[in-house]
A and B are shown apart, each in its own frame.
Chain A
Amino acid sequence: MSVIDWIVLAVTLLVIIVYGIYKSSGSKNLNQYLVGGRSLPWYHIGLSVMATQASAITFLSAPGLAYSDGMRFVQFYFGLPLAMVVLCITFVPIFHKLKVYTAYEYLEQRFDLKTRALTACLFLIQRGLSTGITIYAPSIILSAILQINVVYTTLFIGTLVIVYTVWGGTKAVSYTQMLQMSIIFAGMFLAGVLVVMMLPDGVHFKNSLQIAGKLGRVNAIDWKFDAKNQYSVWSGLIGGFFLQLSYFGTDQSQVGRYLTGSSVGQSRLGLLMNGLIKIPMQFLILLIGVLVFTFYQFNQPPMFFNKNEVDQVKKSRYATQYHALEKQYADAFKQRKEAATELTEALNTNNNDAIYFAEGRLHAAQAQTDTLRNRGIALMKQNNKLADVNDTNYVFLNFVTHYLPRGLIGLLIAIVFLASMGSTASALNSLASTTVIDIYKRVINKNATDGQYVTASRLATVFWGIVCLLMALYAGQLGNLLEAVNKLGSYIYGVILGVFVVAFYLKSIRGNAVFIAALFAEVIVIYCGYTETMAYLWLNAIGCLSVVLLAWLADTLLPKSSADSLAL
């Protein structure tokens, strides 16, 4: 990176953090510290829920995913607008009416303490573990791109977030997120425009999509129903609906965002704004990936995008073989470029025979480069069984650092930092509020003053910040456990959602029935996930439906008196 990029990066981060701290300087009582005095307008809430959901990996993975697998990932979000509607009708009015600080508080009023404690603890485990990954994942990528030790990038992101979250609480989180999202939108839009401008002469926007489409990258919709297919319209609408409803309705990192709304109406408007914008935003991010794919049909990409893994294999006894493969890859790329140019000319002249011929040639050339790349990956695996052979996350940043103009590189690197900080800040804030409200204030110290609870919240934020930082620093050594942590949400969210669905819609069912149902449902979900019976998106639906059915069954079978005797 050039000096200008470093300056842009530093100034962007500094301005946002100072702004967040300045705007949140009045957060002195618990109400202000944890829910921002319930005073924020809808656009704050909308941008804040979007920033919480969009981690750095969203902006790195999505274009890379489109590059390697096309746009079908957009279907993952189809359930989101429906979930927003259900949230606005059911969850938001109840949470606002009861003036709760956390979602789990409501469960004690509806059921009992043990159900509240169970859901709060499940959340703390899931969010505590996954936040470390939220910091680690972009840190490792930034360290590879910036050539800085991963420990420094991890500590840098983690420490900055801890400082402003501890200082300003939820208001600081919300104000920084609003600015972060504005910069992210602007940066991604600029990147998209520049990719189109950098395409070779004769290749315009429509052409570039046609070329990508011929190679299977413009595949936004798949109507086929298959329980093992992660991205289809049906898995997105049904599985995605349950996932998004669980996430936005029961994960405190999101509930905490819309509890800051000044009224039910403002919280609803913020969530509905998310429902309107999220899918087009994700589509545009994927579109950038598709344009980068076309760009690399005319400009030679590296055979493998993760430079660290390439360096490893080049230092090993497989170096000569890898170099030979790279040479063959360069030759194969020349043929692919010729085929892509031929296809462009055929498309411009609208000559169907020429299009058909050039398309066949391009497919063959693409298959040849893919084969060579796979042979390179196989060498990496032979050299190191634990090698990270998925380079999806590196595609977009590699493009940014090699082809975008000075200044913009710094801005886009800042976007990665900002996205990581935004989602981490929400997570720390929610971990602190759940720890203090659902455990410390409810069980350990019921009679402290408001000031003491604010201090406890600050200490809890620091505690969880350190836990997440340690998790991030050791994440590299977790191996397969890392993947398990990433999937942990799907194992837990559905069950928590089931508890809330029973609470809202099945008024006759009591605490013990739902508590027992939640425990059994968790076992069912773990079994389905472990045996890989279905794609992970469906686990949310299975978890939720299992709780509802088992709770109804348990409530029917259990004698009514046992409901009281077991209650804490």
Chain B
Amino acid sequence: MYNSDQEKELPSFIKNWNQFYGIIIVWLVFLIFVFWLITIYFR
């Protein structure tokens, strides 16, 4: 299956797979940041 075919399976708000991978990494950084804020707030 070609990449363009696979990209049709993505949610409409995501352009391509690389963008989805980027979202995952940003999500991870965001979670670590939120957990860090929680840790220092409740320390």
Query: Given that A264-B1, A272-B24 are contacting pairs, would A88 and B6 also be in contact in the complex, using a CB cutoff of 8 Å?
Result: no
Q: Is residue A497 contacting chain B, with contact meaning CB distance below 8 A?
A: no
Q: Please tell me the number of chain B residues within 8 Å of chain A, measured between CB atoms.
A: 23
Query: Given that A265-B1, A265-B6, A272-B20 are contacting pairs, would A220 and B28 also be in contact in the complex, using a CB cutoff of 8 Å?
Result: no
Cβ B35 vs Cβ A89 within 8 A:
no
Cβ B9 vs Cβ A263 within 8 A:
yes
Give the complex CA separation of A455 and B35 in angstroms: 50
Q: Is residue A511 contacting chain B, with contact meaning CB distance below 8 A?
A: no
Residues of A within 8 A of B42 (CB): 209-210, 212-214, 218
Cβ B24 vs Cβ A276 within 8 A:
yes
Cβ A280 vs Cβ B39 within 8 A:
no
Give the complex CA separation of A219 and B28 in angstroms: 18
Cβ B9 vs Cβ A269 within 8 A:
yes
Give the complex CA separation of A78 and B20 in angstroms: 18
Cβ of B38 to closest chain A Cβ, rounded Å = 6
Which residues from 78 to 132 on chain A have a C-beta closer than 8 Å to any C-beta of chain B? 78, 81-82, 84-85, 88-89
Cβ of B1 to closest chain A Cβ, rounded Å = 6
Cβ of A526 to closest chain B Cβ, rounded Å = 32
Query: Given that A263-B9, A268-B17, A279-B28 are contacting pairs, would A74 and B35 also be in contact in the complex, using a CB cutoff of 8 Å?
Result: yes
Cβ A263 vs Cβ B1 within 8 A:
yes
Which residues from 208 to 224 on chain A have a C-beta closer than 8 Å to any C-beta of chain B? 209-210, 212-214, 218-221
Cβ of A375 to closest chain B Cβ, rounded Å = 29
Give the complex CA separation of A88 and B21 in angstroms: 9
Residues of B within 8 A of A71 (CB): 35
Q: Can you pick out 20 interface pairs between chain A and chain B where the beta carbons lie within 8 Å of each other?
A: A71-B35, A78-B32, A81-B24, A81-B27, A82-B28, A85-B24, A85-B25, A88-B21, A209-B42, A214-B42, A218-B39, A220-B35, A264-B1, A264-B6, A265-B5, A265-B6, A265-B8, A265-B9, A268-B17, A283-B35
Which 7 pairs between the two chains have the least Cβ-Cβ distance? A213-B42, A265-B9, A218-B42, A220-B35, A265-B6, A221-B36, A81-B28
Q: Tell me the A residues contacting B by CB distance below 8 Å.
A: 42, 71, 74, 78, 81-82, 84-85, 88-89, 209-210, 212-214, 218-221, 233, 263-266, 268-269, 272, 275-276, 279-280, 283
Q: Tell me the B residues contacting A by CB distance below 8 Å.
A: 1, 5-10, 17, 20-21, 24-25, 27-28, 31-32, 35-36, 38-39, 41-43
